[in-house]
Structure formats: structure tokens, C-alpha cells
Amino acid sequence: MIVGTAGHIDHGKTSLVRTLTGVDTDRLKEEKTRGISIELGFAYLPAPDGQIVGFVDVPGHEKLVHTMLAGASGIDFVVLVVAADDGIMPQTREHLAIVELLGIKRGLVALTKIDAVAEDRVGEVTREIENALADTRLAGAPVHPVSSITGQGIAELKAALFEVSTAIPRRPDDGRFRLAVDRCFALAGAGTVVTGTVLSGRVKVGDAVVVSPSGLTARVRSIHAQNRAAEEGRAGDRCALGLTGADISKDAISRGDVVLDGALHAPTDRIDAELTVMRGEPKPVGQWMPVRLHHASVSVPARIVLLDDADVTPGKTAPVQIVLEAKIAAAVGDRFVIRDISAQRTIGGGRFLDLRAPARKRRTPERRAQLEALSLADPAQALAALLELPPYNVDFGAFARDRVLAADHADAIARSLGVVRFAASGGEIAISAPNWTKLREDIRRALETYHKDNPDLPGIGLERLRMQMDIKLAAPFFLNALRAMAKAGEISLDGAWVRLATHEGKLTASDEKLWALISPLLSGAERFRPPRVRDIAGLLIVQETEIRRLLKLLGRMGKVDEVAHDHFFPRETVSEMVDICVDISAKAKDANFTAAQLRDRLDNGRKVAIQILEFFDRHGVTLRKGDLRRPNPHRLDLFRKLGQEEGKSNVLKIGRDSSPVGRPGFKPGWGREPVLGGFDSHSLPPISGAPTSRGAR
């Protein structure tokens, strides 16, 4: 159990801790000279059952409330210290308000300095304390009159703390590890040491951790938990971690940093939260009000963005967005406190709801509904509620990370709700089973309508289909959803097209006859130098316009590609030429090749070879630098059909399993339909044969 002190300056907090534990928590020379606590102090008291009660002694001066806040986060139990001679004082009330805002529910009152007052004064201050606690979480907390000078009441107070320590359940430690740093120093033989309270999870000697928000990586070389050498620290423990790493030093880590599981490293500077303004605050919280945010051990300037139309008046609670001047490491559900920018008074506090708050459309009814779902403390209930709201899918990876859920816990929640999950290079999303069924039905219905209206076309473009859906998935996840449907035999993916498995674009009878005459001219030994439209028309004695019309239609169907004006190559030939480029590159020292090298392999003349390479350049299949080119591994499947590259030993393996969606430089062209004559420079590429990751669950 971690016990925190609270109370006005010079009310005897440090003396009380020293009397209870035998440890003087005032370690600084200035603290001893001035007789007040300036920094956080720490002490430990062995309990009869072998457990250790840890004490965090905080300063009471009004100018040091920020230090008090750094120590108050993470405590399990508060001892509110009130001097019998002074009674309730301003900092007593502010510390009590902070305890309330931080959600600390358990505590007692130590009425100190009873040796300096008459007995009736003790009764008078006791009643004053009871009245002050009446409307707080500590209402009804026992008051223990004590004297650090004479020792009166100390044994009873110590017994009460031991009783509480056995009654308070240990914090769950099944989440991912986080420790809020309140001190960092160098220690001979141990190196860089950080201390703080473990907010969640467990840490073991040898674990790899990250210091957030800086992102420094480290390894845990030693642990002291509750002032004892240990192999493991758990949620609720006061821990000292010896850290080692290339960039780790006492100057690289400071109070406010969080040492955490690397999977949690995702600092944020825009957070939606639930804010309660203190009843005694003299004015409401208005739009864009500057404040200082205190969370765990960090303190950072911020602005408040109201998500309701009215100001947040004293005593009221409302949703707000907090825009920070610097990124912090936090978790959903964490408590925070805001003070005025001059650090003279505490304004209010609350808890974080969404660490990835939007900068736009943050006050819409849809967003308000999402915030109501996000406010649910139970992660399973929150996820279930979010999945029933637009956009009807949730970034599952971010959801689990921001709630510090361990992987097995997140998986268990997904299984209990029966959600369907799709993975892609952008992460992983979850969608409810009923909405997944609806999405599949909507896709099939849209395809049926499109095929009815366009019987001669092979299918609809991916982005055009995606934008027709009521349930809109991000492009990479929509692609994997389609793959799941294709695997189930519901639809087919053919290049840039999506179609029903039973649909096949068909030419008219006359076009089929004409294509039967043209096709041999474009294949065989002459496939790398096929005749142009004019030449075909002369050979077949058919109008040029008819040949051009049919080849343009075949281009839309994905059977041919117009490499240059009126120069059409079958798709199979284009795919073969891609493989030849890869093969030439693989045999080159630096992976670069020239147009002359391709010309020699294709035996089709320099002009045609250059036209082919310029066609590949436009589509990003090759990357050009001067007269040299190299294959782009991310676009090699652009002119292949689904699964065509499987079994090809001469194909580069880089990126074989990656999604063609969301690649560098590709996003601007999403959704452009191929123009007449095949793919243009903005066309959507075909689907790679292998799923990106785990696919549908």
C-alpha cells in the first residue's frame, strides 16, 4: 500500500512520517535549514504481516502544489494532516480538493500537535474536519489525534494503517507496464536510477522498456520494490529501476517521463476528457482558457476547448478537449488536475476519455455519442458501444494500447464480443459481427447493381465501391475485407476490379470474332513488338476506329494495356516484361539497368523499349534516375492478376505480402478509375496474392 500525506504547510506531515517510520524524508540541505518540505520524500514502514507500507511525503506550501501533485498520483490511501492549533487552512482545502479530483477514495485524518492545545480545542477541530469532509469521498473518515512530540496516538494510528493495508486489495497487474518517474539520479554501482509508482502492469529485471515521451529505449538492470531488492515490480509498488541503454543518463530522464512497455509508447498532445470544475472556483472555465495540466508526475501548459456550447461553471462536469503544448504519455481513464497558468489555484480535474482526439468535427452529435461510449470504464462495454456508432469500426490496436490492455486481455474482449478483426499495414480494426454481415450484403448488392448496369465491364473499382458503403472502412482494411470475401468465394478480385464470383465481363459476338483475329497478332514470338492500331487495321482490313474502340474496351476489362498511343500489349506480356526488368536488375551489381539492356532482352528496338520503360515509370513499377532504372518492389504486382506471382523464382520477394494500399506516394491516386486504354498514372493497382497480415478473424 502507498500512503500519501496531504495538508497545509507546517502542520507536521514530515514529523509524523518520521515518527511512524523513523525516516526523515527532508533530505535536502535547504529543507533542513528552512524547516519545510520542498521536494517529495519517501519512507517505508514494515507491517506485521511482512508487507511494506510506503509513504510519499509531499510539500504543503502553496507554491509547491505542483510537487504535491507529482507525489499524489498513484497513491492508494491518503493521510490528511491537520494541526490542532491551526485547524483547517487554505492548503488543507486545496489538498483535499486535489485528493477528490484524483479519485482517491480511502483515507484518514491525523490531527497533529494535540500536545500544544487544550482538550476542548481537539474536539472543536475534529468537528471542523468532519464538516469539511462531509461532501467529499473521505466523508466519515476516522480522525486520529496524535502528537509527534509525545508519541500520543501514534501506536493507534500505526495500527489503523496496518489494518487498512491488509484490507485494501492489491491493484490489478494484468495490464501493460507503466511507471511515472518522480526522481532520476545516478548511483554508484547501479548507474541511472528512476523512482516512481508503478501505475499498471509488471516489470522484471531484464525487460526492455521505453522512456516516453522521448522514446529512449532502455533495459531494466535492477529493481527495488517497496525499498527491497526484487526481481519484479508490480502495479501499486513504489519502485526504483536501474536502467541501462545507449542514450540513458540522469540528464536524459526527468520528472514527468513515464517508463513503460514499448507497445504503449504513443505520446499525445490532444486529449478529450471529462472535466469537473471545483465548487469554490471564482469563475467558469471558458473557451481556449490557458491552464496548467498535471497528470501523474508531469506538468505541462495547455488550453481548454469546450465541447458544449456553454462555459463549465463551478461545481459542474462537462466534456472538453485539452490541447497540450508538449506531448505526454497517458492512458484512458487516468486522472488529471488543472491549475491556473500562474500556479496560484486549483481549478478542477477529471479523467481522460480519448487520447487521439480529433482536431476537427469535435462537437458533432456523432462525436458526442462516441465520447459517451468512451466514458464507459469497462473496456468491453466501451468497445461494444463504439462498434454500434459511426463509422462502425474501431482501431483495435489503438483501443487496446490506450487502455494499457495486455494482448491476451484484448483478445479475450474481442472473443467475448464476437468481433471480426482485420489487420493491415496501418494496424488492426474491429467490426461487430452484425455489421460485418451488413457490409458483405451491401457489397454484394452494390456489385449486382453495377453488373446489371455495366454487363460488359469486368467489375467496379475498389475505391468507388468503398465510397458507396454505409460502413466505411479505411482503404487498407476495406481491401482485406474484400480479400476475406474472395477467400469465401463470395466475390472475385481481378486486378483493379471487384466483381461477383459469378460475373464475367463479356464482349458482344461481333467483338469476340474481331478479338479472335487481333489476339494472335499481339502474342507469340512478336509479343514484345506487337503491331499498332494502324497496322492491325491494315492487316485485317478493318476500320482503325473499330480496332481502337475494341482495344480500349479490352483495356477497361484488364486484358490489354496501352503502353504508348495506339500501341497495345496483352496483360500477360506486360507482366512478363515486369519479370524481365526484375531479372535484369537482380543480375546487376547495383540493381540499376538501362533501356539498352531491356531492348536486348526483348529484341524490340530502342524506341519501343523506351516507351515500355516510360509506361512503367508512370505507374511506379520502375524508379528512374537519369538513364538508369530499378524496379520498385512495392508496385511489381501492379499488372499481375491475383496470385499470378506465386511460384515465380525470378520475382523480387521484397514486399510480396504487403498491401498495395497506403504505400508511399500512392495515396493521392486512390480511387481513380482506369481511363480508356488501361491503367493511367492514377489507377488503383491490382491485389497482391497474399494477405497483409492476419486478415479476417
Mean pLDDT of 542-556: 91
Q: How confident is the model at residue 464 (pLDDT cuts 50, 70, 90)?
A: very high
Mean pLDDT of 9-19: 91
Q: Is the pLDDT of residue 68 over 90?
A: no
Instruction: Burial-class residue 347 by CB neighbours within 10 Å (0-12, 13-18, 19+).
Output: buried
Q: Which residues contact 123 (CB under 8 A, 6 or more apart)?
A: none
Q: Is the pLDDT of residue 523 over 50?
A: yes
Q: Is the pLDDT of residue 693 over 60?
A: no
pLDDT at 330: 96
Helix (H) or strand (E) holding 154: helix 154-167
pLDDT at 37: 57
Q: How confident is the model at residue 495 (pLDDT cuts 50, 70, 90)?
A: low
Encode pLDDT of 315-360 as tens digits: 999 999 999 999 999 999 999 999 999 878 899 999 999 999 999 9
Q: Is the pLDDT of residue 71 over 80?
A: no
Q: Is the pLDDT of residue 29 over 80?
A: no
Q: Which domains, from first to last, does the chain contain?
A: 2-167 (3.40.50.300), 178-264 (2.40.30.10), 268-363 (2.40.30.10), 366-425 (no CATH), 434-500 (1.10.10.10), 520-556+558-656 (1.10.10.10)
Closest CA to 419 of 468, 462, 385, 444: 385
pLDDT at 171: 86
The rounded distance, in Å, linking the Cα atoms of 687 and 692 is 10
pLDDT at 651: 33
pLDDT at 559: 87
Calculate the CA dihedral of residues 388, 391, 395, 398 and round it to 10 degrees.
-90
The rounded distance, in Å, linking the Cα atoms of 51 and 589 is 67
Mean pLDDT of 41-50: 89
pLDDT at 23: 87
The mean of the pLDDT values for the chain is 87
Encode pLDDT of 618-658 as tens digits: 999 999 999 999 999 888 878 865 444 434 433 333 222 33
Mean pLDDT of 195-211: 95
Q: How confident is the model at residue 226 (pLDDT cuts 50, 70, 90)?
A: confident
Q: Which residues contact 544 (CB under 8 A, 6 or more apart)?
A: 533, 534, 537
pLDDT at 639: 81
pLDDT at 665: 34
Q: How confident is the model at residue 487 (pLDDT cuts 50, 70, 90)?
A: very high
Mean pLDDT of 286-310: 95
Closest CA to 108 of 118, 99, 121, 120: 99
Q: Is the pLDDT of residue 696 over 80?
A: no
Better-scored residue on pLDDT, 487 or 682: 487
Q: Which residues contact 285 (CB under 8 A, 6 or more apart)?
A: 275, 277, 291, 304, 306, 311, 312, 320, 347, 348
Contact call for residues 276 and 346 (beta carbons, < 8 A):
no
Contact call for residues 416 and 380 (beta carbons, < 8 A):
yes
pLDDT at 455: 82
pLDDT at 456: 76
pLDDT at 319: 97
pLDDT at 652: 34
Q: How confident is the model at residue 38 (pLDDT cuts 50, 70, 90)?
A: low
Encode pLDDT of 599-622 as tens digits: 999 999 999 999 999 999 999 999
